[in-house]
Structure 1
Amino acid sequence: MKIENLSEKYRVKRIEETDIPEVYALCKSNPLYYQHCPPNVTISSVKEELTVLPKGKKLEDKYYLGFYHSELLVAVIDLISGYPNGETVFIGFFMIDQHIQKKGIGTSIISEVCRYLKKIGFTYVRLGYIKGNPQSEAFWTKNHFIKTGEEVQTDSYVIVVMQRTL
């Protein structure tokens, strides 16, 4: 995957340890997300997200990326290539800076990402949102993701699985 091809509008780069403070600030600007998906974000939780993987996946399958307008981080996304199967990319996390939400930026980024993933041969994009989070459900539904009927119970919440055919 050539990450620079994920967007024509934004500069895309891998998030590294030196970027953690700005990712933390972006995440901290979205308290509603953490009401549904506890615990609250911390510097250490952002650092942990850089390497967390589903079973059977390797670090080279993970793309924890930032989307930048000039030097400003506007969004982060965590893509897992080939999960849960070879024709699918999994979005483990996606967040837009709260100060620029409701302007079509998130939809624009997801559209560009999906267009590129289709171009390089993937068939599906899959994700999970926290049941009871109306903001997340509305965003993903608006972006052509459909509930699969699968739900995963964790210790703290239920994850509703959605998928988009590319």
Structure 2
Amino acid sequence: MEPAGLSSRYGARRLCDSDVGAVYRLSAGNPIFYKYCPPCVTLESIREDMKVLPPGKSGEDKFYVGFFDGSMLTAVMDLILKYPNDETAFIGLFMVDSASQGKGTGTAIIEECLCFLKRQGLRRARLGFAKGNCQSEAFWTKNGFVRTGEEVNNGSYTAVVMERVL
């Protein structure tokens, strides 16, 4: 998969170590996320997120993607293809720069991404939001995701699993 296909409106590409500072600034501007999904972001936690994989997956299925408006990082997505099964894409993280929130930016990016994933042959998108984070739940519900009934205890928070048929 070529990440550039995820958006026609924004420049989309895999993020690398030289992008960690920009990801940190974007992440630090979203304190509500870390209130429900501790600990707070650090440069090292971003580097780890760029590499971490679920069991049974390889780096070829992981896309830690930045969405750019010119040179400005507007959003970050951690996307795992074919997880937890071959017909599903898992969104491990999606975060929009605070200055771009409430303007339809996140919804536009998600819609384009899901359409692209469908064209790639995937049938579902899945994610987990931190239980109690009403802002995240409202965003994902608005974007057509529904609770599966599954919850996963991640130690410092409980992830509520949601899914959308593509």
Counterpart residue number, 2:150? 150
Counterpart residue number, 1:108? 108
Comparing 1-10 with 16-25, greater Cα deviation is found at 1-10
- Residue 16 of structure 1 aligns to which amino acid in structure 2? C
Counterpart residue number, 2:162? 162
Q: Distance in 1 between matches of 2:150 and 2:139?
A: 19
How many angstroms does 1:81 deviate by? 0.5
Superposed counterparts of 1:16-165, under 5 Å: 16-165=16-165
Report how many residues are paired: 166
Counterpart residue number, 1:2? 2
- Residue 32 of structure 1 aligns to which amino acid in structure 2? I
Q: Which stretches of structure 1, 4 residues or longer, exceed 4 Å deviation after superposition?
A: none
How many angstroms does 1:154 deviate by? 2.1
Deviation sequence 1:57-88 (CA, Å, 0-9, x none): 01111000000001000000000010000000
How many angstroms does 1:100 deviate by? 1.3
Deviation sequence 1:66-118 (CA, Å, 0-9, x none): 00001000000000010000000000000000111000000000000000000
How many angstroms does 1:153 deviate by? 1.3
Q: Distance in 2 between matches of 1:99 and 1:2?
A: 27
TM-score if structure 2 supplies the norm length?
Answer: 0.99
SS at match of 2:9: coil
Identity, % of aligned positions: 52
TM-score if structure 1 supplies the norm length?
Answer: 0.99
CA RMSD, Structure 1 to Structure 2 (Å) = 0.5
- Residue 43 of structure 1 aligns to which amino acid in structure 2? L
Q: Distance in 1 between matches of 2:113 and 2:59?
A: 20
- Runs of 5+ consecutive residues of structure 1 not aligned to the other structure: none
Q: Distance in 2 between matches of 1:157 and 1:5?
A: 33
